[in-house]
């Protein structure tokens, strides 16, 4: 699992061999420098710029839509990366989006990595897979409460933004389901969004509203990729803008 960081790529425990290689290379360079085989470098104090603002960590918890499915370059074209770019160079991104992820599984696969990172900002968009696979909304609510509790217990000052479910009836992927029982899908979306909104209020997090008013799939089919489910590059850019504006409204950023 690649853990992406703004400007570079971080790797999780599944890529430890690469870390060891970097460490060995660093030790070799230090040895050569100590032996005089590499030119010494000096720093001009007048040219040094002091770092006046500390770096902040942003963790994105999610599934394939956070990973970047639907774009031509998922590693670089996804809404989390776009949001990190809008937030500015102070933030480095750890993108934990894993395709096909459910919220319950994220408690054991993504949450531990997020806790270890001690983030300043966490975004959560994990609901569509649960809804599509008929996870009972009561089970989803319990898992969401646990996720938020553990994030806030780890760092009471962390800022959390959680997105709800957009109008899935406008996605071709759900067309058959919507045609078979138009009311059932709408009721499921409403039930999930009610739970998400309640959790956001209870835990004092930022609710990201992806309703049709904010993420207008009906009038912007260009937001939907050819698979009929995931966003396109333009769709990801719009999602990032919605997250960014919500963070601004909540006065998390200026």
Cβ distance 28 to 115 under 8 Å?
no
Q: Which residue has the higher pLDDT, 67 or 35?
A: 67
Count CA atoms within 13 Å of residue 90 on its CB side.
11
Q: Is the pLDDT assigned to residue 103 strictly greater than 60?
A: yes
Per-residue pLDDT of 164-190, as tens digits, reads: 999 999 999 998 888 888 799 999 999
Q: Give the per-residue pLDDT at 214.
A: 85
**Measured distance between the N- and C-terminal CA atoms of the chain, rounded to whole angstroms:** 33
CATH for 58-249 is 3.40.50.1110
Task: Round the CA-based radius of gyration of the chain to a whole number and report it.
Answer: 21
Q: Which two tokens stand for residue 96?
A: 């934990």
Distance CA(91)–CA(60), nearest Å, equals 12
Instruction: Determine what percent of the chain is predicted with pLDDT higher than 90.
Output: 72
Q: Give the per-residue pLDDT at 53.
A: 67
Distance CA(3)–CA(20), nearest Å, equals 17
Residue 203's Cβ-count burial label (10 Å; 0-12, 13-18, 19+) is middle
Angstrom distances, CA of residue 8 to CA of 56, 78, 177: 15, 15, 41
Angstrom distances, CA of residue 189 to CA of 41, 62, 127, 176: 60, 18, 9, 16
Per-residue pLDDT of 125-137, as tens digits, reads: 999 999 999 999 9
**What predicted TM-score, i.e. pTM, was given to this entire model?**
0.79
Q: What is the mean pLDDT of residues 113-117?
A: 98
Ordered by start, the domain boundaries in the chain are: 58-249
β-pair type (121-125, 91-95): unpaired
Q: For residue 143, how many other CB atoms are within 10 A of its CB?
A: 19
């Amino acid at each position: 699992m690649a853990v992406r960081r703004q400007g570079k790529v971080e790797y999780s425990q599944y890529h430890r061999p690469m870390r060891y290689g970097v460490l060995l290379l660093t030790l070799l360079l230090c040895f050569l420098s100590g032996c005089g085989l590499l030119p010494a470098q000096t720093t001009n104090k007048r040219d040094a710029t002091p770092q006046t603002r500390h770096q902040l960590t942003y963790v994105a918890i999610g599934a394939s839509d956070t990973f970047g499915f639907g774009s031509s370059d998922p590693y670089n074209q996804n809404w989390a990366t776009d949001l990190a770019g809008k937030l500015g160079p102070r933030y480095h991104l750890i993108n934990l989006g894993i395709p096909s992820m459910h919220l319950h599984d994220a408690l054991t696969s993504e949450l531990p990595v997020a806790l270890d990172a001690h983030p300043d900002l966490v975004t959560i968009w994990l609901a569509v897979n649960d809804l599509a696979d008929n996870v009972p909304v009561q089970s989803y609510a319990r898992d969401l409460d646990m996720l938020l509790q553990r994030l806030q217990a780890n760092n009471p000052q962390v800022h959390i933004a959680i997105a709800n479910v957009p109008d899935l009836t406008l996605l071709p992927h759900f067309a058959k389901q919507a045609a078979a029982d138009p009311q059932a899908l709408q009721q499921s979306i409403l039930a999930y969004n009610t739970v998400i909104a309640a959790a956001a209020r209870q835990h004092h997090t930022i609710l990201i509203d992806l309703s049709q008013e904010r993420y207008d799939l009906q009038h912007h089919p260009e937001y939907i990729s050819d698979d009929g489910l995931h966003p396109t590059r333009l769709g990801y850019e719009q999602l990032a803008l919605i997250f960014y504006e919500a963070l601004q409204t909540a006065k998390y950023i200026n």
